[in-house]
Amino acid sequence: MAHKLFGTDGIRGKANEEPMTAETALRVAMAAGHRFTRGDHRHLVIIGKDTRLSNYMLEPAMQSGFTAMGMDVVLVGPMPTPAVAMLTRSLRADLGVMISASHNLYQDNGIKLFGPDGYKLSDEVEGEIEALVERELLDHMSDADNLGRARRLEDAPGRYIEFVKYTFPRGLRLDGLKVVVDCANGAAYKVAPRVFHELGADVIPMAIDPDGKNINRDCGATSPQALQQQVVAHGAHLGVALDGDADRVILCDEHGRIVDGDQVMAVIARSWHKAGRLQGGRVVATVMSNLGLERYLQSIGLELERARVGDRYVLERMQAGGYNLGGEQSGHIILSDYSTTGDGLIAALQVLAAQVAAGGDMSELTHVFDPYPQLLRNVPAKGSAAMEDATVQSAVSAAEAKLGNDGRVLIRPSGTEPVIRVMAEGLDEQVVNAVVDEIAGAITDASAA
């Protein structure tokens, strides 16, 4: 079915506008509570959030919806998305909720749901919940004797910190390493600096003063410029930039050079492959990952399998093939030996573990391959009809011929914006720029016709 509420990563929109209103949040909670009521045990839901102002509105609305359906609620406060997934499993909850719009600015918000296994819900289950949102659920509400209760889990940060530290190899420490940690004024502002500190690093924290409106503003994984400057200024060995809900990470080396998700996957793949830990001889990435990553993996005897954009689709491929490493160029790195979703902190620690074990500079470790020139452009368009236009198809065919075997073209409609994304990559940057111009122009003309 075509979802009206759920997109590629839960529900998302402008705060206090549909679907991010208190009323809709209440209805989503009631619908999800009804869907996940099973058996006669006391049902439990975990609710986490990031630091957005609108969470003061959405969190109590969802709490009310769940308790009205007879579910007990455990509130964990500002916590990373992967922490909510972990706690959902750890506490044997029936459902987990993260209220966050990830890397977006504070004006937006979103709702992500996790099943009792700690995994994001499938399209099918989201469709069932969406259908229930449209129904009148008064007949399914709890009676007065069986309403749910709510409580706070005061030791939630400590539980997650210990969980993350457990993923760092025994016998290794971060003593002597200076690490700048940009918390994006988001969900990890308390836990992230403590993780690195407790493992022995000299930590320089950034963006740890959330005020409800400064999440992701000029900081974090999508704006790492300040991190780059601080790494160089402090003579740090590594910079770690998380996004608002800390499920993605972007690194920078001691020179302030960005290390994106493709390079992170390459570092971990090489390290795990040498140690015999990489399952299936493959890494799962999306159609957006650089050709340089694919060619590098082939050079060390590994394969790259591509999925649709979205970490949930990466995870589906990983589960289907029995692989334990996947991710996105944007920094969602999924290490299924440890987590059911992307976890920026765990990914950063795996890179640091490789560096501690190998020695040398971070720049040497993380510059694994030379990326192919790649250009992505968002072309305004309503829907995807322009992609089927004969002129657009002709422009794509011509572009593929120009790029040859050492390049590729990808056009796809955005799942969150009224644009068509045009991406090309190849050996010659000028050719890449030219073919993107040609395809974008054809889409613009087709959309105007």
Question: Alpha-carbon distance 102 to 373, whole Å?
Answer: 27
User: Which tokens hold the place of 310?
Assistant: 């979205």
The pLDDT assigned to 13 comes to 95
* Strand-strand pairing, 202-206 and 10-14: unpaired
d(CA 306, CA 303): 10
- The per-residue pLDDT for 449 is 75
Each residue's pLDDT tens digit, 251-287: 999 999 999 999 999 999 999 999 999 999 999 999 9
Average pLDDT over residues 168-189: 97
Give the dihedral of Cα atoms 63, 64, 67, 68; nearest 10 deg.
-150
> What tens digit of pLDDT does each residue of 296-340 get?
999 999 999 999 988 989 999 999 999 999 999 999 999 999 999
Average pLDDT in the 381-388 region? 88
Alpha helices in 173-286 (DSSP H): 191-198, 225-234, 261-274
The total number of residues written for the chain in this structure = 449
> Is the pLDDT assigned to residue 111 strictly greater than 90?
yes
The CA–CA distances, whole Å, from 336 to 79, 149, 213, 282, 408 equal 20, 33, 33, 13, 29
Residue 214, exposed/middle/buried by CB under 10 A (0-12, 13-18, 19+)? middle
The pLDDT value given to residue 60: 98
The answer to whether residue 414 scores a pLDDT higher than 90 is: no
Q: What's the mean pLDDT in 59-66?
A: 98
Q: What is the mean pLDDT of residues 78-93?
A: 98
Total Cβ atoms within 10 A of residue 403: 20
pLDDT at 1 > cutoff 60: no
Q: Is the pLDDT of residue 52 over 60?
A: yes
The residue-averaged pLDDT of 235-262 equals 98
Backbone region of residue 327 per phi and psi (left: phi > 0; alpha: psi in -120 to 50; beta: other values): left
**Predicted pLDDT of residue 216:** 98
The pLDDT-based confidence of 39 (bands split at 50, 70, 90) is: confident
Give the C-alpha distances (Å, rounded to integers) separating 334 from 64, 216, 377, 390. Answer: 32, 22, 26, 39
pLDDT at 143 > cutoff 90: yes
pLDDT at 95 over 70: yes
Measured CA to CA, the distance from residue 331 to residue 265 in angstroms comes to: 9
The rounded distance, in Å, linking the Cα atoms of 181 and 205 is 5
Mean pLDDT, residues 19-24? 96
> How confident is the model at residue 417, as a pLDDT?
76
Q: What is the mean pLDDT of the chain?
A: 95
Nearest to 447 by CA among 388, 361, 364: 388
Residue 3, pLDDT above cutoff 70: no
Model pLDDT for residues 195-208, shown as the tens digit of each residue:
999 999 999 999 99
> In the prediction, which pLDDT does 2 show?
45
Share of the chain above pLDDT 70, in %: 99
All domains in the chain, ordered by first residue = 6-154 (3.40.120.10), 163-257 (3.40.120.10), 259-366 (3.40.120.10), 374-448 (3.30.310.50)
Rounded average pLDDT over 8-23: 94
Catalytic positions, written as ranges? 102
For residue 416, the model assigns a pLDDT of 66
Split at pLDDT 50, 70, 90, the class of 9 is confident
Amino acid at 103: H
Which of helix, strand or coil describes residue 87?
helix
In angstroms, the Cα distances linking 414 to 100, 228, 273, 309, 381 are: 20, 29, 34, 10, 10
